[in-house]
Structure 1
Amino acid sequence: MSTASHSAPRPSPPTSLRTGRMFALTGAVVGVIYGYDTGSISGALVFLSKDFGLTETEKGLVNSILVLGSIVGALIGGKLADALGRRVAMLIVAGSYTVFVALSAIAPTVEVLDAVRFLLGVAIGISIVAAPLYVAESTPARIRGASVAAYQVATVVGIVLTYFVNWGLSGGGHWRWMLGLSAIPAALVVIPLLRLPDTPRWYVLKGQTERAVEVMAVTDPEVDPRAEVASVRAALDEENGGSARSLLRKPYARAAFFVVGLGFFCQITGINAVTYYSPQIFEEMGFTGNGQNFLLPSFVELASLVAAVLAILIIDRIGRRVVLLSGIGTMVVMLGVLTVVFGAGKLHGTTTWVGFVAILLFTAAFNFGFGSLIWVYASEAFPAQLRSTGASVMLTADLVANLLIAQFFPSLMAKAGAAATFAGLGVLAVGALVFAAFTAPETKGRQLEEIQDYWRNGGRWPTAATPGPVGAAGPLGDSAAQPTSP
C-alpha cells in the first residue's frame, strides 16, 4: 500500500509535540492529585482523630478503606478503560476526585468519611491503571519514556505538596482543608480532557481505524500513521486471549511468581507506613515544636523525589539488579537503625536526628529501588498478550500488602511499640532482599524477546550458540551465558 496516497496529512512537529505534551501534562496533573490524596490523610488524621475520638483501629480503617477501594478500582480500571475509552476513564477519575475529595472535607461523621474515602479509593485505583495507559499510548515516541516517568515522579511531587500543605495548616488544625484542597486541580484537569482525543490504540480496539490514523498523525508525525496503526492492530490481535489463568501455567508461572512477590514485598516492607503516619512517627521521635512533625516529612519526600529521578537517569546504565538490590539493602539497614533508635528508650538530641535521617534514607531508598523497578519488571516479564494481565495481578498483590500496612501499623505501634514494629518490618525487608537476589534477572540491554526466553528457559539465559533450555547460567544469569549480539 502506498504511503504517499494513503497517509493522513501530517501536522508540523511543534503542533504534534504540543499535543503530546498536553497528554503528558494532563497525566502528570492526575499523578500529582493521586499523590496528594494518598498523602493528605497523614496530617489530617492527627486532628480528625481528636474531633471524632478515634481508636487506633479506627485510625487504621480511615487509611485502609481507601486502599480497599483502590483494589476494587484497579480490578475494574482496565475493563473500564477498554469499554469506555482511556479519555473517558480519565474524565471519570477527575470528576470522582473532585466530588469525593470535596465530600471528604465536609464529612460530618467518621462513618461518612470512611464511605467517601472508599469511593475515592475506587477512583484512585482506576487512575493507577488509566493514567499511565493514557499517557503511554498518546505521546510521541521520542518523549514517551519521559512522559510515563513524569507521571511516576508527579505522584511523589503530590506527596511532597501534601506535606507542605499539612504543615502550613497544622497550626489551626484545619484537617478539612488538608483533605479538600485537591478538588480544585481535579476540577480544572477536566477542561483539557474534554478537548483531547482518545488514544490511537483505543480507536483501533473499537474498529475506528480512520480516527486512529488521524490521531496518530497528530500525536507522532515521525511515523507513517497508517503503518503504525497497522502495527497496533497486529499487536492487539496477538494480545487476544491473555488471561490470569495463563500465568499459573508454564512457561510463565515463574515470571508470575516473581512479579507477584515483588509487588507484595514492595508494600509489606512499610513504605506507606511512613506516607500515611509520618507525623505520628516524628512525634514519637520527639519532633513536636513549631509543627516539626508536619514539616520534616516534606524534606523526606523531597529526598525521595531526587532518588526517583536519579534512578530514572541511571537504570539503563548500571542495570536493574544493582538499582533494586542497593535500594532494598539500604532499606534493611535503615530499618535496623530505627529499631536501635526506638529501642534505646526516650529519644533526644542526637538520637532524634539519627532517627530522622534513617526515615529519610529509608524512603529515598524505596523510591530508588522498589519504586523505580516494579513497573519495569512487570512490563518486561511477559509477552504482549499477558503484559497487562501480569501487571494487574502484581498491582493487586501490591495493594493487598498496602491494605495490611494501612490497617495494622498504628495498632502495632501502640501495642508492640515502635522498636518491635520497625524490627518486624526489617525482617520483612531482609526477606525482600533475599527474594529479589534469587529471582530478579538483569535485563539491562536485553530485547523483550530475550527476556521472555529467560522465563521460558526456567530462569536461565539461553546461550548464543544454543537457543532453548540450557543449564549454564543458573537462576540469575551471568555474562558468559549472555548472547554476544547487542
Structure 2
Amino acid sequence: MNPTKTNRQTILVCFLAALAGLLFGLDMGVIAGALPFIAKEFGLSSHHQEMVVSIMMFGAALGALCSGPMSSSLGRKKSLLLGAVLFVIGSIGCAVAHNMEVLSISRFILGLAVGVASFTAPLYLSEIAPERIRGSMISLYQLMITIGILAAFLSDTALSEGGHWRWMLGVITFPAIILFVGVLTLPESPRWLAMKDKHELAGKVLKLLRNSNKEAQDELNQIRESVKMKQRGWQLFRHNSHFRRSTYLGVLLQFMQQFTGMTVIMYYAPKIFEIAGFSTTHEQMWGTVIAGLTNVLATFIAIALVDRWGRKPILKLGFSGMAICMGILGYMFHSGISNPTEQYAAVIVLLIFIVGFAMSAGPLIWVLCSEIQPLAGRDFGVTCSTMANWIANMIIGATFLTLIDTIGSPNTFWLYGVMNIVCIVLTILFVPETKNISLENIEGNLMRGAPLRLIGQQIFKGIRPDTAAAK
C-alpha cells in the first residue's frame, strides 16, 4: 500500500473527533444573533451583555483546567463523551431560561463542555493522525468550529424575524446528541493506551488506522519509547526549565490567537456591522452569515497549505494581513462611513481580515499547541494553553463593548491592529516550524535545550543534551 496515502478509517475517526469543534463553533456563534433579543427581553446593559457572553469563557477555562487530569485518568474518548453530555444539558438550560441568572448558569455549563472539547479533541487528533497529515487533521477541527459558527449565524438569521432566541440557543441540543453517538464509535488514543501499559490494544488500534502492519508496529515502537516517561506535568513544570518554556509558549500562542480581534467579530458581529452603517437587523444578520461563510472557506486554505508551506510562514502572513485590515477599519471608522460604497468597502476589509485569521492563527495555533509539549507533560501543557485561550477569550468578550463606549470604535480597532503587529514579532522570535517533524523529534530538541524557534528541526545539534531533562 502506498505509504503516502492515508487510511480511510483514520480520516473517518478524525472527522468524528472533530465534530466536537462543530459544537464549539455553534456555541461561539449563536450568541451573536441571540444577544440583541436577550438584552431586550431581560433589559440588559452593555456590562450585563458582556457578562452573558463571557461567562461561557469562564466555564471553558475551568473545563480546560479539569480536562488534563480527567483526560489522563479516564482517557480521551470518555472525556469527549462527558463533553457531549454537558453540551446537551447546557443547551436545554439556555433554551428554557426565564431570567439572566438561569441563562448565565446554563452558559457556564456550555463553557465547561467547550473547555473539555477544546482540550481533548485537538489532543486526540494529534495522537491519532500520522505525522504527515497531523497538521491537516487538527486544522479539520478548526474547520468544524468555523462551520459551527456559520451554522449558528444561519440559524440565528432564520429565527431572527420572529425574535426566537430560545430556539437559537436550544437547537444546539441536536448536534450534541449526534456527537455523543459518534464518539461512542471511536477507538481510544493509542498513545493513551500505551501510557496505561495496554500495548497490545494500542497495537490493534494502530493496525486499524495505519496502511500496513509494519507502519503500525514502527509507530508503536516509537510510542513505547516515548511513554517510558510517565505523565508528571506539575512536577516536570516545577523542576524542568525546558518544559516550562514549552508551557509558556503554548500560553503565549493562545493569547496571540485571541488578541488578533477575531473573537469580537464572532461574538459581536451585528454590533460591528451597525458601526459600519448597516442599521437594520436584517442587514446585520446577513452580514454575520457572510462573515461566517468566509471563515469556513478560508479555513480550507490552512488545511491545504499547513503541511506544505509550514506553520510559521502562514502565521506571519496571516498576522500581517490582520494588522493591515484592523488599521484600515480603524481609519474608516475615524473618518466616518457615510455612503453605501464606504459601507461595502468596510465589509470587504473585514472579510479580508477574517480570511487572514481563518488561514493562519485560527487553526495553526491549535496545531502548534498540540505539537510542542513533551509527552511526560503533554496533558499539563495542553491544559495550560487551552485554559489560557479561554481566559484571553473571556477578557476580549468582557471588554469589547466597554472599549467601544470609552475609547471609541477607531481606537479599539487600531488597538487590535497593534496587537497583530506584536504577534508578528513574537512569531519570528519564538514560534518553531514543526512541519513533517515527529512529536518525538520535537520533544527531543526541546529537552536538549534548543531555542524554541528551532525545536522543529530534524535534529538540533547546536547544544549538548541536557541530562537534567530526563530526570
TM beyond 0.5 = yes
Within the alignment, does 1:349 sit opposite 2:340 as a pair?
Answer: yes
Amino acid at match of 1:46: P
Within the alignment, does 1:191 sit opposite 2:181 as a pair?
Answer: yes
SS in 1 for 2:270: helix
The partner residue of 1:70 within 60, 63, 76 is: 60
The partner residue of 1:456 within 429, 449, 455 is: 449
The partner residue of 1:334 within 325, 330, 335 is: 325
Q: Report Cα offsets for 1:297-348 as digits up to 9, x if no partner.
A: 2222222223221123223333433211111111111111111111123543
Amino acid at match of 2:110: L
In structure 2, distance between residues paired with 1:161 and 1:49? 22
Cα separation, partners in 2 of 1:129 and 1:425, compared to 1, 3 Å: same
1:363 is displaced (CA, Å) by 1.7
Larger-Rg structure: 1
Cα separation, partners in 2 of 1:450 and 1:96, compared to 1, 3 Å: closer
Cα separation, partners in 2 of 1:136 and 1:286, compared to 1, 3 Å: same
SS in 1 for 2:307: helix
Amino acid at match of 2:123: L
1:144 is displaced (CA, Å) by 5.7
Q: Which residue of 1 aligns with 2:18?
A: 28
Within the alignment, does 1:467 sit opposite 2:467 as a pair?
Answer: no
Amino acid at match of 2:151: L
In structure 2, distance between residues paired with 1:100 and 1:57? 22
Structure 1: unaligned runs, 5 residues or longer: 1-15, 471-486
The partner residue of 1:205 within 182, 191, 195 is: 195
Amino acid at match of 1:199: S
Within the alignment, does 1:37 sit opposite 2:27 as a pair?
Answer: yes
SS in 2 for 1:341: helix
Cα separation, partners in 2 of 1:294 and 1:251, compared to 1, 3 Å: same
SS in 1 for 2:462: coil
Q: Is the 8 A contact 1:341 1:354 kept in 2?
A: no
Q: Which residue of 2 aligns with 1:373?
A: 364
1:246 is displaced (CA, Å) by 2.7
In structure 2, distance between residues paired with 1:23 and 1:109? 40
Q: Report Cα offsets for 1:223-255 as digits up to 9, x if no partner.
A: 356665454333222243343753785345544
1:122 is displaced (CA, Å) by 0.5
Within the alignment, does 1:304 sit opposite 2:298 as a pair?
Answer: no
Within the alignment, does 1:50 sit opposite 2:40 as a pair?
Answer: yes
SS in 2 for 1:108: coil
Within the alignment, does 1:163 sit opposite 2:153 as a pair?
Answer: yes
In structure 1, distance between residues paired with 2:201 and 2:433? 40
Q: Which residue of 2 aligns with 1:258?
A: 249
In structure 1, distance between residues paired with 2:231 and 2:203? 22
Q: Which residue of 2 aligns with 1:95?
A: 85
Pairs within 5 Å for 1:422-441:
422-441=413-432
Q: Which residue of 2 aligns with 1:393?
A: 384
Cα separation, partners in 2 of 1:211 and 1:451, compared to 1, 3 Å: closer
SS in 2 for 1:316: coil
Q: Is the 8 A contact 2:329 2:413 kept in 1?
A: yes
Pairs within 5 Å for 1:211-222:
211-220=201-210, 222=212
In structure 1, distance between residues paired with 2:37 and 2:297? 30
Cα separation, partners in 2 of 1:322 and 1:179, compared to 1, 3 Å: same
SS in 2 for 1:410: helix
Q: Name the stretch that deviates more: 252-261 or 305-314.
A: 252-261
Q: Is the 8 A contact 1:304 1:365 kept in 2?
A: no
Q: Is the 8 A contact 2:62 2:387 kept in 1?
A: no
Q: Is the 8 A contact 1:256 1:390 kept in 2?
A: yes
SS in 1 for 2:97: coil
Q: Report Cα offsets for 1:375-432 as digits up to 9, x if no partner.
A: 3333443433234433332222222211111111112222332112112222222222
Q: Is the 8 A contact 2:135 2:307 kept in 1?
A: no
Cα separation, partners in 2 of 1:421 and 1:184, compared to 1, 3 Å: same
Within the alignment, does 1:223 sit opposite 2:213 as a pair?
Answer: yes
Q: Is the 8 A contact 1:240 1:385 kept in 2?
A: yes
Q: Name the stretch that deviates more: 411-420 or 272-281.
A: 411-420
In structure 1, distance between residues paired with 2:233 and 2:51? 35
1:31 is displaced (CA, Å) by 1.6
Cα separation, partners in 2 of 1:244 and 1:259, compared to 1, 3 Å: farther
Q: Report Cα offsets for 1:70-114 as digits up to 9, x if no partner.
A: 001111112212222222212211121112101101100011000
Structure 2: unaligned runs, 5 residues or longer: 1-5, 465-471
In structure 1, distance between residues paired with 2:179 and 2:429? 43
1:274 is displaced (CA, Å) by 0.4
Q: Report the identity percentage.
A: 31
